[in-house]
Structure 1
Amino acid sequence: MCGEVTQSSPLHTGQPLPSRVETPPITTTEISDLEDLSRDLRGDPEARTAFLATFTAEEERAIMRKVDMRFCLLIGFMFMIKNIDFSNIGIIKTMQAGQHSNILKELGFSSNAYNWVATIQGIPYVIFELPSNLLIKYMGPHAWESRIFLTWGIVTACCGAVRTSKQLLALRFLVGMFEAGMFPGVITTLSYWYRTDEVGRPMTWYFVISNFATIVGSLICYGASFMNGMQGLSGWRWAFILEGVATVLFAGLIFFILPDFPKSKRSSRWLTPREQQFLEARLPPNAPATADPSWDSKEAWIAFTSPATWAFLFDQTLMNLGNYALSWYLPTIIAGLGFAKLPNSLLLNIPPAAAGIGAIFICLLVTSRAWFQRPVLCIITVLGTIICFILFFTVKSRGGLYAACVLSQFFMASYYVPYWSWRTSIMSGSTGASFAIGLQSSIAQLGSTVGPQIFQSKWAYNRYRNSFIIGFAITLGALASNLWTWWLTRDIEKRVVEVRRNTLKGRKEGRAYQESEVVVVRQTQQEVILAGSIFCIRASSDN
């Protein structure tokens, strides 16, 4: 099956991109018509260009500040709470180590058996991430995400009441089932509001705040360790209860604050009709839209058959395997270095997390200024992670190992900001975006399922050298996968960088938009989605 797309834009004629597009004056009547929220301007390029030309750079910044205020802090705290849930499982293992109130002794876990506490939570992710993400358009992000937090928070708090290892494993499975869909749901929702060249901004907040998870989680466990014995409960039980109650309370904030879509009724509370139309009109024609149906089989099939979808999927899966494995074992490495006794050793988890936060800000600076393509930044972070794994199985000094812990978080944490900004460039339509991100997140969660099993007690004899070599091999595979994905999207990335630079230049001159930006982004999106699917694209400049 082969389709044809023709374009007469400067991209195919070899002509330089215009520095400014002159548009005819637009009348008040026409503006009123364009503010009709039932009208999709993305299918009417002339009306769209004329409408966008009525906005100044300052107006654009003011509108996007409103959007940022609704998303950035909130989604950052959402992801932080999710990461606390995972990271605390590893930290809780070290609480009251050697005492009867330690979770391993109290529930009868061996070191290897306890790895299943993390693994069994990842299994339902693989099963439920995709169907959960497909429901987000039908249910609305605010309702669906708040349901996710409410249910997983209740079950997490219940983990503090378990009496056997089997009960804990059963509840952790339920936590994973109820938590599934949170992460891909946020990524999908952002694609309704942000262009691919600017989505790095909210994603930076997402990952910066989430990197406080280790810091906050360590402090929760540190405080809970002093509650050991209070009301007859062990410290690790208090850690689960505190975390679960906080998650339930946060569900209420999500319900009232998290936006749905630009033209949703909820959005009219803080946006004018003109601003709502602007937010959707500025996106590429194939971007998800408020009026899209909840399900479109054709969009799902195109997303499923695109090689780019699978390339990005392998990128995330391989990085997750290495990342989750190391994140799971990192608290044990740090506690075993002997720099401090428990509970003070828990505070040594904070510097690696702080290094990750600093690295994310560096990534934001690079991507927002479009100094070079996003895949370059991803590959640099993967190379840095590879070096860290080499250090773990070669360095023997305590100081050197702790430095490797800090560096590993510096590189691993910074990978996902440019990666998700890069990933959003190929999503098409509401169903296509939900399906692609849901499918990817389902399979990529093998990282949280398999990763903790890499550190088996049988390899403790040589300081888990075998485990670190496996992590090195996995990350080497991630490097090859990222290079493949870059090759598939190389032309798109060049154009996205050009769009970003033109955007920055236009804003300095007081302009919110110019036609070259609209054309480049639209063509970029079309080419990526169609190039790797069942369609063939032939661009022509003689039309």
Structure 2
Amino acid sequence: MSSSKDIEVSTASSDIVVNQDVATEARQKANNKASRANIVHLRDDPEAKAAFLSTFTADEEKRIMRKVDKIFFLLTGMMYLIKQVDQNNTTNIRVLQVGQPSNIMKELKMSSNEYNWIGSIYGIAYIIFEAPSNLLLKRFAPHNWQARIFLTWGIITACQAASQKRNDLYAMRFLLGMFEAGMFPGLLAQFQAWYRPDEMGRVIAYFFCWSAVSGMVSALLAYAISYMNGIVGLSAWRWVYILEGLATILFSGVVWYYLPDWPKSERSNRWFTEREQEFIETRLPESAPMTSDPNFSSKEIKGVLGEWLIWSFMLSQTLVNLGGYALTWYLPTIITNLGFVGLPRNQLLLIPPFAAAVVGLLFSAWFMERAWIVRPAYIMFILSGMVICFVLFFTISNRTGIYIACVLGNLFYQSYFSPFWAWRSATLIGSTGTAFTLGLQSGIAQLGGVVGPQLFQSKWAHNGYKTSFAIAAAFTIAGWVSNLWTWWLTRNTEYDVMRVRRLANQARKEGRTNTEDIKIFEERQFYEGKGLKRTKGVGGSGNDV
């Protein structure tokens, strides 16, 4: 039996051991924190960066990045698919039970011109709220902010089913654009923190495949739900909004639980070791967003607004959107008016144009990984094909020829965005600068969504809207020229991206990790231009933002 003295000594010894354990744990946490703080600045030291990256083999890099792909590709792809389905469902709803009393335009007593405003009002809301929403991404963490976006827009999507007159639907579409704003550029901003610019072509191409798939899903859903017309006294178009809204609300919980934040966020510990997190962030270029960046930097925003390149990229995308949105908005109506099949099988003819787009996007992912040419050169080929298709819309009358032009036109338009956004990613700087640039550009480019539907006025219906498509073709040609100008402004950076991609491909063949990346702050000069002079970027850097 132990004495009270022995018990006291034992207790004291236990306290000493406990205190020692606490102290050891505290020191370990402090050391880990210091280690992580040091590694944040590793990218600023080329020798230290190269030394760290060289400790990884090509197989290790492949394994880590496959893990990143698995986390992002399926989840973000589903997010984008749902977003596109909810955004574009009005184009399919327009031709549900067309000519019958249960058609949406009959029930809400809307003319064709009035219905076009459904697309335009949605775009106006996007323009207003896209950039502000994206600036809140880091403040609230991506998984929280994106889950909020999905929840609120799901509610509004379902509420559209309660519309009794056109003004109700107009109000709901404005709210839908407001609550959806920030979802797409928010995901692009996250990609910048996980992938290098030379990898973004593949990443964004796969991402946009889901957009093309959404066109097929929308058509199939509209076809299936058309048979629900009259159930519990509701028209089919109301069921489309109800069912798609409920699915979006439920999916918001999936987004909140599974979406990662940043490579070194505490949330990433569930998928990656500390060494893997350090590798993911260290391999990024000097301008990439970092986990440790502040939530807001006014200096980066001033740098963005003071550069030519933000306006050049914005003009290039907006002009292409002005033509492309006109096609996607009116595509179901075009195909229905061709008269190949009756209702509701007309919805099934929407599948080939979007299936072709998926093929085009998969080819783009494969092609850009090889880095045979710079990405703007590839874009010029895509836009040339798009121009030809749009010219066909107003120069031919054969319905088979018009349908083929629809398939190819959608292929080229959908294929444009993966190389474009990959190209744009190479000139972004910092967390705030990246979020603001992507939000502002994505928002302003929604002018295409505002103007595109308005091109199809009833006064131009007499000849199959040939005048509408002539205007859309003119915008596309202007976009071709603007993209060529933007290529000139980024010629050195884009050549550097191609060069580094080739080095990465060669390093992978040799079983090692590439340790060189593109120069952003003091870019390499491969082409000397005497026309336009590049200006200093954020903090006196030698690159456009």
TM score, norm. by length of structure 2: 0.90
Q: Which residue of 1 aligns with 2:223?
A: 222
* 2:266 counterpart letter in structure 1: K
Q: Which residue of 2 aligns with 1:204?
A: 205
Please identify runs of 4+ aligned residues in structure 1 that moved more than 3 A: 32-35, 518-528, 530-539
Q: Which residue of 1 aligns with 2:165?
A: 164
Equivalent residues in 2 for 1:142-541, closer than 5 Å: 142-514=143-515, 517-518=516-517, 520=519, 523-524=522-523, 531-533=534-536
**CA-CA distance at 1:36 after TM superposition:** 2.4
CA offset digits 1:405-437 (Å, max 9, x no partner): 101111001101111110100000111101111
Structure 2 distance, partners of 1:122, 1:316, is 15
Structure 2 distance, partners of 1:446, 1:257, is 33
Structure 1 distance, partners of 2:400, 2:82, is 30
**CA-CA distance at 1:298 after TM superposition:** 1.3
**CA-CA distance at 1:100 after TM superposition:** 0.4
Q: Give structure 2 stretches of 5+ with no counterpart.
A: 1-27, 528-532
Equivalent residues in 2 for 1:5-24, closer than 5 Å: none
Asked if the contact 2:156/2:175 (under 8 Å) is kept, the reply is yes
Structure 1 distance, partners of 2:210, 2:231, is 31
**CA-CA distance at 1:335 after TM superposition:** 0.3
Identity of aligned residues (%): 51
Report SS of the residue matched to 2:197. Answer: coil
Based on CA coordinates, which of the two structures has the bigger radius of gyration?
Answer: 2
Report SS of the residue matched to 1:242. Answer: helix
Structure 1 distance, partners of 2:84, 2:522, is 37
CA offset digits 1:33-59 (Å, max 9, x no partner): 899222211123332221111111100
Q: Does 1:36 align with 2:35?
A: yes
**CA-CA distance at 1:526 after TM superposition:** 11
CA offset digits 1:173-204 (Å, max 9, x no partner): 11011001111101111101110000122212
**CA-CA distance at 1:306 after TM superposition:** 1.3
Q: Which residue of 2 aligns with 1:90?
A: 91
Q: Give structure 1 stretches of 5+ with no counterpart.
A: 1-28
**CA-CA distance at 1:450 after TM superposition:** 1.3
Asked if the contact 2:364/2:415 (under 8 Å) is kept, the reply is yes
Structure 2 distance, partners of 1:311, 1:527, is 21
Q: Does 1:46 align with 2:39?
A: no
Q: Which residue of 2 aligns with 1:19?
A: none
Q: Which residue of 1 aligns with 2:7?
A: none
Structure 2 distance, partners of 1:425, 1:537, is 14
**CA-CA distance at 1:525 after TM superposition:** 9.0
Report SS of the residue matched to 2:495. Answer: helix
**CA-CA distance at 1:498 after TM superposition:** 0.7
Q: Which residue of 1 aligns with 2:105?
A: 104
Structure 2 distance, partners of 1:459, 1:214, is 26
Kindly report the root-mean-square deviation, in angstroms, between the aligned alpha carbons of the 2 structures: 2.1
Structure 2 distance, partners of 1:368, 1:534, is 28
**CA-CA distance at 1:227 after TM superposition:** 0.3
**CA-CA distance at 1:531 after TM superposition:** 3.6
Structure 1 distance, partners of 2:374, 2:216, is 31
Structure 2 distance, partners of 1:534, 1:62, is 35
In the comparison of the two structures, how many residue pairs are matched? Answer: 506
Structure 2 distance, partners of 1:519, 1:380, is 25
Structure 1 distance, partners of 2:438, 2:210, is 22
Structure 2 distance, partners of 1:388, 1:88, is 24
TM score, norm. by length of structure 1: 0.90
Task: Return closer, same or farther for 1:527/1:151 CA change in 2, 3 Å cut-off.
Answer: farther
Structure 1 distance, partners of 2:164, 2:541, is 61
